[in-house]
Amino acid sequence: MGFGFLGLFYLLPIAIFGLLLDYLGQKTIKGYRRLFLIEIGLVGIIAFGFVWQERTKTYIIPDQREFEFVVTIYNVKDSEQLPVNFFTWTYEKEIPENGILLTSNRINSDLPKTKMFTKAGLSLQDKEDTVDLCFGRASTSKIEIDGEFYNYEAWKIDKGGTIGYSSIDIKELEEKLKKYLKRKKPSS
């Protein structure tokens, strides 16, 4: 009774679904070549879906920084577009000195995975690097300013291999983001 037993909970339903799909295919589709091509096509589409969800953005942060949160704020008009489309597998983006990246993209159009490196090339996710920094997703939420809603994602950078923050830290971050956006927002 190890971790292999836990894998059974995921693999057994997939195997049963596959056998059921194969059985129905054999009953309805005449000709094994056609059935084989259809099943290989389905497996290919499912595999592409899994790989597509692993697309990764890489943030480059300053070596000497004053911030502890890296934040991407989405839906900000007249801000830079991220280089993202359906076929984008990866991109790199340098984070400004204040740690806040503004973009006019929507949050659901950005890549799902995140990596971080310093400008010197030290990895924040690799424990083998000599840097004692790590990062973790702290918050994905919305903030409201003057009736407009902005989605944001925040990652906390910390030392020692652990990420520590509280709800008070997130509230303080959101207040800082609101002040920053009010200053950046063009007056109407």
DSSP string, 117-177: EETT--BSS-TTSS--EEEEEEEEEEEEETTEEEEEEEEEEEETT-----HHHHHHHHHHH
Residue 30, domain extent:
3-52
pLDDT of residue 11: 84
CB contact set of 66 (below 8 Å; sequence gap of 6+): 97, 98, 99
Question: How far is residue 149's CA from residue 151's CA, in Å, rounded to a whole number?
Answer: 7
Domain match, 122 and 137 both: yes
Number of structural domains (the chain) is 2
Domain match, 94 and 138 both: yes
Domain match, 73 and 42 both: no
Domain match, 38 and 115 both: no
For 96, the 3-state DSSP assignment is coil
Which residue did the predictor score with more confidence, 100 or 86?
Answer: 100
pLDDT higher than 90, residue 5: no
Pairing of strands 100-102, 69-73: parallel
Domain match, 41 and 60 both: no
Give the residue among 52, 73, 21 at the shortest CA–CA distance from 182.
Answer: 73
Domain finish residue from 52, 74, 93: 52
> Which residue type is seen at 77?
K
pLDDT higher than 90, residue 9: no
Domain match, 44 and 88 both: no
Phi-psi region of 160 (alpha: psi -120 to 50; beta: other; left: phi over 0): left
For 186, the 3-state DSSP assignment is coil
pLDDT tens readout for residues 139-165: 899 999 888 999 999 999 988 777 888
**What average pLDDT is seen over the chain?**
88
Domain match, 176 and 148 both: yes
pTM: 0.78
User: What percentage of the chain exceeds 90 in pLDDT?
Assistant: 51
List Cα–Cα distances, 100 to 76, 129, 153, in angstroms.
12, 25, 10
